[in-house]
Structure 1
Amino acid sequence: MARMARLDEVLTTLDEGLPAALDRLMAFLRIPSISTDPAYAGRVREAAGWLQGELAALGFQATVEDTPGHPMVVARSQPGAGRSLLFYGHYDVQPVDPLALWDRDPFDPAIEDTPAGPVIRGRGASDDKGQLMTFVEACRAWKTVHGALPAGLVLLFEGEEESGSPSLEGFLRDNAERLRASLALICDTGMYADGRPAITTQLRGLLGEEIVIRGADRDLHSGSFGGLAANPLQVLVNALAALKDAQGRVTLPGFYDGAPELSETLRADWEALGFNAGDFLSQVGLRHPIGEPGRSGLEMVWNRPTLEINGIAGGYAGEGFKTVLPAEARAKVSCRLVGTQDPEAIREALRAHVRSFLPTDCSVEFHPHGGSMASVMDISDPAFGAARQALSDEWGREAAFIGAGGSIPVAGDFKRLLGMDSLLVGFARDDDRIHSPNEKYDVESFAKGARSWARILAALG
């Protein structure tokens, strides 16, 4: 009972301190920490310094640490007997282009009233400054009530997530011992589409490959050479077309090795979400799902691997017509991976498949574009059940275990380099317009997000 009473005090402190918390967030959002543009390098460092100052004022041992790129912010509370936790977020933001499509200066944030309730409008409001500050504010209220920060916390805030995290892997390797914890907490995610709180328990991996096929030493006249000379574009499309059978299954040998069937527990959870694939597709002008027969929509986008052709180029594609056999043809192919699928084994199978279509007179080059395995969390860890209950208590709806069709590489990095699973909890909404003009974050997401983290901290104790 005493523990619950103290949690209630923390929640009340958060409610009473919401105006001041929003003011702090506004100050943070005013710093244009655009990591992809070298012109903003000083402002990225300014944002790191702002965070370090806030965390130090709360009692964290907080430092700004240099990397080959933008700095990391690392903060630590006092060690304790309970579970050690590493919280991750990123303080850099996307560029704002096209600026003309913004309704206000993207770095002059404001609270705006909308039919769905008040929102925080500005670049970084949802991705990821507003999200990471929900955790910082939960820690602030915790200290106000308890007189000390939660023990055993390490906070890691990155400044390069929006530019591909080039320094992250090296930083994790070099600092593994002081960053390793029993569980990572990641806030760079969202709620389910209907506003239900959610914990993302699995993320698909990704590999990309560019294929370049070359034939003659110049484009050829199709009347003089058609039917006689090898056509690289035809060779390429033949190879690409054979990557899937009539049912949509990928034909590469060993492609499905390590792709697990969905557990009955998750199947029941996902069916309860009421996802309608036709309605989902209707948002983009489509209606009829394709893919493997007998699979549900959520299973297809969360728990099944894919192979997609992302682009093809070759020959003449300008106005009018030019009857040529192109000297070169290119394609970009990507795969989303699940379970324990091996990206490098699949890459080699793809290359062998393309080579098998290659005539004697043609050559091929391959250019890899990343390769990472899927991340699957062990939800038998009691922390997942405790966090799920904490979220359900706060939002008044049962929290869902969900998957993600995309990738959050840092979760895989934590698993691979630090040996720990990640509890992915965020409060972004589908309409937050992240990476787009007029980005926003609901005030409700910010306020209840901080309350949610306070509950999770109490539950993980």
Structure 2
Amino acid sequence: MSDPIPAILKRIDADQPRALDRLMELLRIPSISTDPAHADDCETAADWLVAELTDLGFKASKRATPGHPMVVAHGGEGARHVLFYGHYDVQPVDPLRLWNRDPFDPAVEQTARGPVIRARGASDDKGQLMTFLEACRAWKAETGGLPCRLTILFEGEEESGSPSLVPFLKENADELRAEIALICDTGLFDDRVPAIITTLRGLLGEEVTITGPDRDLHSGMYGGPAMNPIRVLTRILGGLHDDQGRVQVPGFYDGVGEPPSQVKASWNNLGFSTEAFLGEVGLSHAAGEVGRSGLEQIWSRPTAEINGITGGYTGDGFKTVLPSKASAKVSFRLVGGQDPIRLRESFRDWVIAQMPPDCQVTFAEHGAAPASAMETESEVFVAAQSALTEEWGLPAAFIGGGGSIPIAGYFQSVLGMQSMLAGFAKDDDQIHSPNEKYDVESFRKGVRSWARILRKLAD
């Protein structure tokens, strides 16, 4: 059998105007999952995807959940079974005044760096999701079928914490379980180098509230003898790191290992500049662990960050109040074998041990997910790396992910399957922000990339 890829790629390029039209249709649906006012729009987006998948020959259905529906589809046949995951819901658009156009009136705009698709969800995740569907469309149109057995899972609550996801995975594990999960919710490295994420940091969120007096007090009358909760809170938070940038919670580094030497060497070859990276946001000096490179700090080291502090009077003007309460939100990015539940207990014990008389502390948890690491030596990863290299003309890099994509961990813990994360977004796509965009070239080459990857996986 001759290689169908040249003809498939030619068809993808010829069909791009129609592919863009289809993407625009999906982008016009304001499927904001966090806003109850858009619940019907999420249903509409799910219905739209079911219709598209059915048109592509998949057996597709919309599945009800306590929240927004899942879309599940099955198609193709063969020895290899692959699951593709994406999400059709989007972030809210506030503040609307900062958008240059209606966020749900998508258009292709010309920029100094080439044409872009401007709309909410263009990059996260509708544009990325559609790259895979358009690759399947080209395969079917050119060969009459799909290159392997495919299961599709599209979620409608990713941007609102995925409350229905784990129960759905557990209830449908036998139907969804595959050899590998493909996730297209990531980006290129340095806007030009294709990348496969092989590690993802986990995430632990904690909210700390310290209470002192039973009401706010006048600082002139009580300042001095009365304990101030803000004083207690800031002292504790100030001790979270030492002068070398290391976290001081007991047992914090349990389970933290070092990347293999060859992985570190490959990162060094990427030409990443910490100074340039920080310069883009008006900074100039690295503030993390001393002796660690910028990529190490982002991809392979755990962190503790204070995300918000409240207490006392914060309105206009001045009020000499000694507050009753003070709170802080603290997040931990986790790597390796760090146990988020054990770390939560350790952090709370560490805070409690520093409570002075007359102060009490309470905690509220905001999620806990372990880190994920992929087996890059497997033939699936090697095949995908080869396919991306062929399409982009530059060696595809195995990189780490500084953020957290919980779905990869859930696929591992609930379904017992590895995930491969490959996407085509760029750092300036402004996801979650006004004027979100997705490069037309990212869309085109994303479709071509998935077509090549599917061919390699089928082999």
- Provide the residue aligned with 1:126 in structure 2: 123
- Shift in Å, 1:119: 1.4
Residues 239 and 353, structure 1, Cα contact 8 Å, conserved in 2: no
Residue 366 in 1 paired to residue 363 in 2?
Answer: yes
CA–CA separation in structure 1 for the residues paired with 2:179 and 2:415: 9
Offset of 1:170 from its aligned partner? 0.9
Please give the residue correspondences for 1:99-114 in structure 2 after superposition, counting only pairs within 5 Å: 99-114=96-111
**Alignment correspondent of 2:5:** 7
> Corresponding residue for 2:71?
73
Closer, same or farther: CA 325–112 of 1 in aligned 2, 3 Å: closer
User: How far is 1:56 from its partner?
Assistant: 0.8
Amino acid at match of 2:360: S
1:415 to partner: Cα distance: 0.8
* Amino acid in the other structure paired with 1:13: R
| Per-residue Cα deviation, 1:320-376 (whole angstroms, up to 9, x for no partner) | 544443222211111110111011111111111111111232111111111111111
Structure 1 residue 99: Cα displacement: 2.2
Tell me the equivalent position of 2:337: 340
Residues of 2 paired with 1:371 and 1:329: CA distance?
A: 23
The equivalences for 1:168-317 within 5 A come to 168-317=165-314
- CA deviations 1:401-433 (Å, max 9, x no partner) are 111111111111111101111110111111112
Aligned to 1:36: 34
2:327 corresponds to 1:330: yes
1:106–1:347 Cα change, 3 Å: same
State the 1:223 CA deviation: 4.2
- In 1, Cα distance between equivalents of 2:94 and 2:239: 39
CA–CA distance in structure 1, aligned partners of residues 426 and 402 of structure 2:
16
Which stretch shows the higher mean deviation, 35-44 or 133-142? 35-44
Structure 1 residues 180 and 221: CA distance shift in structure 2, 3 A = same
Query: Unpaired segments of 5 or more residues in structure 2?
Result: none
1:73 Cα deviation from its structure 2 partner:
0.8
Tell me: CA distance 1:444–1:344, structure 2 relative to 1, closer, same or farther (3 Å): same
Query: Matches of 1:87 and 1:70 in 2, distance apart?
Result: 19
CA contact (8 A) 1:34 1:44 kept: yes
SS of 1:133 mapped into structure 2: helix
Q: Which moved more, 1:65-74 or 1:39-48?
A: 39-48
Aligned-pair CA distance for 1:95:
1.9
Question: Is the Cα–Cα contact under 8 Å of residues 221 and 324 in structure 1 kept in the other structure?
Answer: yes
Amino acid at match of 2:48: W
- Among 412, 436, 439, the alignment partner of 2:436 is 439
**1:144 maps onto 2:141 in alignment:** yes
Distance of 1:98 and 1:291 partners within structure 2:
32
- Deviation of residue 437 (structure 1)? 1.9
Q: In structure 2, the residue corresponding to 1:192 is in which secondary structure?
A: coil
Alpha-carbon distance, 1:60 to partner:
0.6
How big is the shift at 1:435? 1.6
Deviations along 1:387-410, whole A, 9 cap, x unmatched? 111101001111111111111111
Aligned to 2:45: 47
Query: Shift in Å at residue 206 of structure 1?
Result: 0.7
Maintained 8 Å contact 1:305/1:338: yes
Query: Would the alpha carbon gap of residues 176 and 234 (structure 1) be closer, same or farther in structure 2, given more than 3 Å must change?
Result: same
Could you say what secondary structure the match of 1:370 adopts? Answer: strand
User: Would you say the 8 A contact 1:77–1:150 is kept in 2?
Assistant: no
- Give CA-to-partner distance per residue, 1:273-303, whole Å, 9 cap, x none: 1111111111111101122121110000111
Cα offset for 1:98?
2.2
CA distance in 2 between counterparts of 1:374 and 1:295 reads 19
5+ residue gaps, structure 1, are none
TM-score, structure 2 normalization: 0.96
Shift in Å, 1:167? 0.9
Alpha-carbon separation, structure 2, partners of 1:217 and 1:112: 57
Tell which deviates more after alignment, 145-154 or 400-409.
Answer: 145-154
C-alpha spacing 1:175/1:245, structure 2 compared with 1 (3 Å): same
Are 2:118 and 1:117 equivalent residues in the alignment? no
Q: Which runs of 4+ in 1 moved over 6 A?
A: none
Q: TM-score when scaled to structure 1? A: 0.96
Quote the sequence identity (%): 63
Name the count of aligned residue pairs. Answer: 458
CA distance in 1, matches of 2:312, 2:99: 38
Q: CA–CA distance in 2 between the matches of 1:219 and 1:122?
A: 46
Deviation sequence 1:61-104 (CA, Å, 0-9, x none): 111111111111111014422x2110000111122222222222
Kindly tell me: are residues 152 and 250 of structure 1, through their superposed partners in 2, closer, same or farther at Cα, counting changes over 3 Å? same
Residues 1:119 and 1:320: Cα distance change in structure 2 (over 3 Å) = closer
More displaced stretch, 117-126 vs 406-415: 117-126
CA deviation digits over 1:91-141, x for unaligned, max 9? 111222222222222222122222211111222111111111111111111
2:227 and 2:358 in contact (8 A); partners too? yes
Range 15-24 or range 407-416, more displaced: 15-24
Amino acid at match of 2:241: K
Q: CA deviation at 1:319?
A: 4.3
2: CA distance, partners of 1:168 / 1:87: 15
Give yes or no for contact 2:250–2:350 (8 Å, CA) kept in 1: no
SS of the equivalent of 1:12 reads helix
